[in-house]
Structure formats: structure tokens, C-alpha cells
């Protein structure tokens, strides 16, 4: 099989969609692609620290199998031969799941998480596990931002975002309970996506808060997101939160010509960001308007007020429930911030928990009622570029409401700030409208034509 490089040895910079097409056409060997990613890991990992483990030998063995299959025209699925990175809260058969926690909590699962099994069935090659904040909460990892190692990559999907941002993998799984996929994507200059809560199974994923936990995708293009959503979506009886809905056909949605979208801007919310971010979002909106998009201001519904506080109550109570057998007897084994989350959550009464959950569900209904005139809402993904230092993973304020509502959202890299770090805009849609959201996102992506990457 002939090997095609993009520019000499730049195979690691291919998007998942580009690589999949070249593997299927016979122009690219999965072995060459995996080898290129492993070489990039060797070059960048000492500075970025994105990985918990890299399974190089196993990945190359599987890549050789995928290459042999491709040579005889046997393709397992749309991700045949594509290397993937997995946040270390996903169970992978034969690998330890650390969840970023003390060794006491480590597990060695006997089966893959449902999402990992779907990726493998589609032909993907697992490269290894990436770092996560402890139990996907707020205590930072050692992972560095690939754009500037003095800045956070975000959390909790820090390793997955940094690995993709540094071109060590074209595709990674993260998770989002509050802002843990889209915010790291924004900070690392890549695309991040969360589907409607219940669209993708979380079976085999270490839980933080069942009511909000959502599989996240991190990659370098909207087309890659569509590929991932189509592979991962589907009802799973093993996940109590899974909803039996017809899966979307996101790749088909992207194949059709997209009309200029109808975008709503929650101006009061946008203007709580930092000045540079506000100016940037309005500049993006103006570009969209000049290209034919409809841009209208929109007022968020009354339930928006206090929904993030309600979400924190739900997360704390559900996290405390998940850890009830270990906390407080082993409280000293937890890191400081998560220890506080569990202590507060354990004090939450049933009345307060139910009231908070009902407010989140009311917000979802009101957002759904708000959306018919719009294809998506446009706003920042984060209030500012990635903060300096590793003591904080950043502010999830612009992601949290949509996690509480369980609606789909996507982060798109959209510019470079004065300090040289990436800027990002977020698009949010009504529940179950993944295909429509990605069609809108693809239109915006093409307009912005983002091509920058860390040096």
C-alpha cells in the first residue's frame, strides 16, 4: 500500500476525516498514520504531559491488522485505522482506569466502555489514555497547554484536548458534566462537542453526576465531530440515562449545501465575558451577518437565573452518592477541591436536590421553546483565553447552562487573542438537533477558515 504524506512527515496533522478517506482509497496505511502520531507524542509529550499511558506496541499491532484488512477491501467502519485517545475515566479492557485519582480507586476493567466498543467496531485504533482531573472534577492535572505551557489546557478533559491540540492524536474522547469538553477545546484551539444528554451511552465511564454526564468529542474539524457522533450515537439499555431516539445522520447533514444560518445572540450573557472576548464574538457575528446569516438578539428565559447554582447542587449531591461507600471514611485520599465537592454534596437534602433538578429541567424546556426561530445560539465558549498557571482549569460559566439543560453544544476555534492564545465561539442548539447544529457549525467553520496551530 502506498503511503501519502501531507507535507513530508506531516501525517499527524491530518484530520480524522481526511485520514479515513485516504485509508479507504488506499493512499494511506494505518500503520504510517499511527507511527506518525507516536512520533509526535515522543516529540511533544515531555512538554505537554497529556498522557497517562501510551500503548504503542498494541496500537501498532492493531494498525497492522487494519492495514491488512484495508488491502483486501475489508473496512470495519468509518473510522477504520484512525488513532484515538481516551480520557482516563473510560474503561478499556486490559488497561487500568485511574480517573486521575489515588491508586486505591484504580480499576482494571474486563470490558470496554460502550463508547470505546463502538469506536473499535468502527475500526478505530486506541493509542492510550489521557489525563483527567480527579474524577473529572476541578483539581488540575500536570498537563500543559500546547499553545503555551505556562497556561492551563482546561479541565477535566485536559489530556484529550492537549493531545489533539498538539497533533498527537486526530480524535479523542473527553466528557462534559459542566464544561469539561468545550472549555479545554477552546483553550487548546480545537473543536469540542457534547451531544444531547442521553444520545451517547456513558456505560463504562466513571460517573461524576449522572444527570449531566455526557460523552465529549475533541478533534480538529466539524466533519470529524459528525463522524464521531454517527459512530457513537445509539440507545444502550446498560445506561439508565440513554434515550431511545433515532440516531442522527450527521455526515449526511454536512454533505448537503448549508444555507446561511439563523443565529441568536444572548447579548446580556455574552457581555459578562472579558472585553476582548466580547469584541471577538461580535466580530464573528458581523462576519456571519455579512455572509448572509440572520443575527438577532435573544433574551434567555427566566429559569436561566440561578440554573448554574442549581447545577452545582445536583453535581455535588450525585457525586456524593457515587462516592458514598468511600467518603468520608477515606476522605484523605481525595484531593482538596473534590473533597470539598463531596462534603458539600453529602449535606444536600432531598428537597434541595429535587428543587435544583427541577430548575435544570425547566430551563431545558424553556430553551427548547426559545429555539424554533434559530438554528443555534452564538456566544463565547469561555470568558477569556486560557488562564496563566496550572492552579485552575478555568471558568466554565459559558458551558455550564447547556450542560444543566442537556442540550447539544459545539466549540469552534475562531481567532487568536492578543496574548497569542486561541479564541473560541460556541454554538448551542435545541435537544436532539445534533445534525442541524453541525450543519450550522460547518457553515461558520468554513467562513472563519481557522488554520492556526501551536508552534
Catalytic residues: 87, 156, 180
Strand-pairing partners, residue 90, are 205
Degrees, nearest 5: CA angle 66-71-75: 50
Burial 108-131 (b: 16+ CB within 10 A, else e): ebeebbbbbbbbbebbbbbbbbbb
The DSSP letter of residue 261 is P
How far apart CA 374 and CA 363 sit, in angstroms, is: 17
Phi, psi for residue 450 in degrees, rounded to 5: -65, 130
* Grid coordinates belonging to 336: 482538596
Give me the sign of the Cα torsion angle 228, 229, 230, 233. Answer: positive
Per-residue cell: 80: 477504520
In the block, residue with C-alpha cell 473499535: 120
Short-list 145, 118, 257, CA closest to 199: 118
What is the Cα 278 distance to its own chain's centre? Answer: 23
Whole-angstrom CA distances from 162 to 4, 79, 318, 359, 434 are: 26, 21, 28, 34, 25
- With H, G, I as helix, E, B as strand and everything else as coil, classify residue 143: coil
In 222-306, which residue ranges form alpha helices assigned H by DSSP?
Answer: 222-232, 250-255, 267-270, 275-290
Q: Where are the alpha helices (DSSP H) in 134-247?
A: 158-165, 182-188, 222-232
Burial class (CB in 10 A: 0-12, 13-18, 19+), 451: exposed
Name the β-bridge partners of 175: 215
Distance (Å, whole) CA 410 – CA 258:
17
Length of the chain: 455
**Beta carbons of 166 and 44 less than 8 angstroms apart:** yes
Pairing of strands 191-194, 214-219: antiparallel
Amino acid at each position: 500500500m502506498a503511503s501519502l504524506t501531507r507535507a513530508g512527515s506531516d501525517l499527524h496533522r491530518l484530520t480524522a476525516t481526511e485520514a479515513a478517506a485516504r485509508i479507504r482509497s488506499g493512499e494511506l496505511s494505518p500503520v504510517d498514520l499511527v507511527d506518525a502520531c507516536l512520533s509526535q507524542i515522543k516529540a511533544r509529550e515531555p512538554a505537554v504531559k497529556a498522557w497517562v499511558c501510551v500503548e504503542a506496541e498494541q496500537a501498532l499491532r492493531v494498525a497492522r491488522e487494519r492495514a491488512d484488512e484495508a488491502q483486501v477491501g475489508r473496512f470495519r467502519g468509518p473510522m477504520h485505522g484512525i488513532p484515538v485517545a481516551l480520557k482516563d475515566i473510560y474503561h478499556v479492557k486490559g488497561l487500568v482506569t485511574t480517573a486521575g485519582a489515588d491508586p486505591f480507586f484504580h480499576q482494571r476493567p474486563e470490558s470496554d466502555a460502550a463508547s470505546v466498543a463502538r469506536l473499535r467496531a468502527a475500526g478505530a485504533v486506541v493509542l492510550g489514555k489521557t489525563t483527567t482531573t480527579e474524577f473529572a472534577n476541578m483539581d488540575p492535572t500536570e498537563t500543559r497547554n500546547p499553545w503555551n505551557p505556562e497556561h492551563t489546557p482546561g479541565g477535566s478533559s485536559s489530556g484529550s484536548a492537549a493531545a489533539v491540540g498538539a497533533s498527537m492524536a486526530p480524535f479523542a474522547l473527553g466528557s462534559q458534566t459542566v464544561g469539561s469538553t468545550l472549555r479545554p477545546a477552546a483553550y487548546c484551539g480545537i473543536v469540542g462537542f457534547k451531544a444531547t444528554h442521553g444520545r451517547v451511552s456513558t456505560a463504562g465511564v466513571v460517573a461524576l453526576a449522572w444527570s449531566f454526564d455526557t460523552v465529549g468529542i475533541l478533534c480538529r474539524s466539524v466533519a470529524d465531530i459528525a463522524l464521531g457522533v454517527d459512530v457513537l450515537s445509539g440507545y444502550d439499555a446498560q445506561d439508565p440515562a440513554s434515550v431511545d431516539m433515532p440516531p442522527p445522520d450527521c455526515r449526511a447533514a454536512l454533505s448537503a449545501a448549508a444555507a446561511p444560518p439563523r443565529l441568536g445572540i444572548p447579548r446580556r450573557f455574552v457581555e459578562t465575558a472579558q472585553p476582548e472576548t466580547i469584541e471577538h464574538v461580535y466580530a464573528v457575528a458581523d462576519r456571519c451577518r455579512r455572509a448572509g446569516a440572520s443575527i438577532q438578539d435573544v433574551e434567555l428565559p427566566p429559569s436561566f437565573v440561578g440554573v448554574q447554582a442549581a447545577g452545582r447542587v445536583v453535581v455535588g449531591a450525585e457525586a456524593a452518592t457515587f462516592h458514598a461507600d468511600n467518603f468520608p471514611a477515606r476522605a484523605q485520599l481525595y484531593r482538596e477541591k473534590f473533597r470539598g465537592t463531596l462534603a458539600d454534596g453529602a449535606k444536600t437534602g432531598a428537597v434541595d436536590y429535587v428543587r435544583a433538578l427541577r430548575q435544570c429541567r425547566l430551563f431545558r424546556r424553556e430553551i427548547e421553546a426559545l429555539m424554533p426561530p434559530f438554528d443555534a445560539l452564538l456566544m463565547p465558549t469561555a470568558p477569556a483565553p486560557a488562564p496563566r498557571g496550572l492552579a485552575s482549569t478555568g471558568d466554565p460559566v459559558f458551558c455550564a447552562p447547556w450542560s444543566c439543560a442537556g442540550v447539544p453544544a459545539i466549540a469552534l476555534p475562531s481567532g487568536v487573542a492578543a496574548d497569542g492564545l486561541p479564541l473560541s465561539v460556541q454554538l448551542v442548539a435545541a435537544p436532539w438537533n445534533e445534525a442541524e447544529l453541525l450543519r450550522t457549525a460547518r457553515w461558520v467553520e468554513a467562513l472563519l477558515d481557522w488554520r492556526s496551530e501551536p508552534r
